[in-house]
Amino acid sequence: MPNDVRRIGHAYRAYLPIALIFFSMVPALVIVPVLKDLIKDRLHGTNDAVAYFISVAQLAAFLGAPLAGFLSDRLRNRRTLVALFALINAVCFFAFTLLDSIEALLFLRFVEGGVSIFVIGLLMASVTDFEHEPGQSHRGRLVGLAGTMLALGAAVGLVAGRLGNRDPLLPFCAASAMMAMVGICALVFLRDGPFHKTESLQLGRVLQAFQERPQLLLPFVYTFVDRFTVGFLISSFNIHLRETIGLPAGQVGLFLATVLGPMALLSLPVVLLVRRTGPILPVFLGSLLYGSAIAAAGLLSQPLEIYLAVLFAGLGAGIMFVPSILLAARLAPPDLRGTVMSAFMGAGALGFMLGPLTSVALEHNLRYLVRPDLLFGTLALIFGMLEVLMILFSVPFVGSLRRALGGPSIGTESLPGKFE
Closest by Cα among 117, 114, 105 to 44: 105
Q: Are 116 and 230 in contact (CB under 8 A)?
A: no
What whole-number distance in Å separates Cα of residue 25 and Cα of residue 139?
A: 24
- Given a cut of 90, is residue 15 above it in pLDDT? no
Amino acid at position 334, single letter: P
Mean pLDDT of the chain: 84
**What's the pLDDT band for 261 if we cut at 50, 70, 90?**
confident
Q: According to the model, what pLDDT value does residue 420 have? A: 29
Residue 329 resides in a domain: yes
Query: Which of 170, 198, 226 lies at the terminal end of a domain, its last residue?
Result: 198
Could you tell me if 110 and 238 lie in one domain? no
Q: Each residue of 100-153: pLDDT tens digit?
A: 999 999 999 999 998 998 898 888 877 777 765 555 554 556 766 777 888 889
Helices (H), 132-236: 141-160, 170-189, 203-212, 217-232
- Given a cut of 60, is residue 306 above it in pLDDT? yes
**What's the pLDDT band for 1 if we cut at 50, 70, 90?**
very low
Could you tell me if 34 and 135 lie in one domain? yes
Q: Are 150 and 51 in contact (CB under 8 A)?
A: no
What whole-number distance in Å separates Cα of residue 95 and Cα of residue 102?
A: 13
- Given a cut of 50, is residue 414 above it in pLDDT? no
Q: According to the model, what pLDDT value does residue 189 have? A: 86
- CATH number assigned to the domain comprising residue 214: 1.20.1250.20
Residue 21 resides in a domain: yes
Could you tell me if 291 and 414 lie in one domain? yes
- Given a cut of 50, is residue 311 above it in pLDDT? yes
Q: According to the model, what pLDDT value does residue 415 have? A: 40
Q: Each residue of 315-370: pLDDT tens digit?
A: 999 999 888 888 887 887 776 666 677 678 778 888 999 999 999 999 999 999 99
Q: How many CA atoms lie within 13 A of 125 on its CB side?
A: 29
What whole-number distance in Å separates Cα of residue 143 and Cα of residue 323?
A: 15
Could you tell me if 365 and 231 lie in one domain? yes
Residue 164 resides in a domain: yes
Query: Which of 165, 198, 231 lies at the terminal end of a domain, its last residue?
Result: 198
Q: Are 305 and 394 in contact (CB under 8 A)?
A: no
Could you tell me if 364 and 342 lie in one domain? yes
Q: According to the model, what pLDDT value does residue 239 have? A: 94
Could you tell me if 248 and 383 lie in one domain? yes
- Across the range 204-216, mean pLDDT stands at 75
Domain containing 135 equals: 7-198
- Given a cut of 80, is residue 371 above it in pLDDT? yes
Could you tell me if 167 and 266 lie in one domain? no
Most confident region among 169-173, 186-190, 277-281 by mean pLDDT: 169-173
222-234 in b/e form (b: 16+ CB < 10 A) is bbbbbbbbbbbbb
Could you tell me if 188 and 263 lie in one domain? no
Burial of 336 (0-12, 13-18, 19+ CB in 10 A): buried
- Across the range 36-43, mean pLDDT stands at 94
Could you tell me if 171 and 222 lie in one domain? no
- Given a cut of 80, is residue 52 above it in pLDDT? yes
What whole-number distance in Å separates Cα of residue 4 and Cα of residue 330?
A: 36
What whole-number distance in Å separates Cα of residue 179 and Cα of residue 302?
A: 36
Burial of 177 (0-12, 13-18, 19+ CB in 10 A): middle
pTM for the model stands at: 0.83
Closest by Cα among 137, 15, 125 to 419: 137
Query: Which of 198, 226, 241 lies at the terminal end of a domain, its last residue?
Result: 198
Q: How many structural domains does the chain have? A: 2
Q: According to the model, what pLDDT value does residue 78 have? A: 79
Could you tell me if 187 and 206 lie in one domain? no
What whole-number distance in Å separates Cα of residue 370 and Cα of residue 86?
A: 46
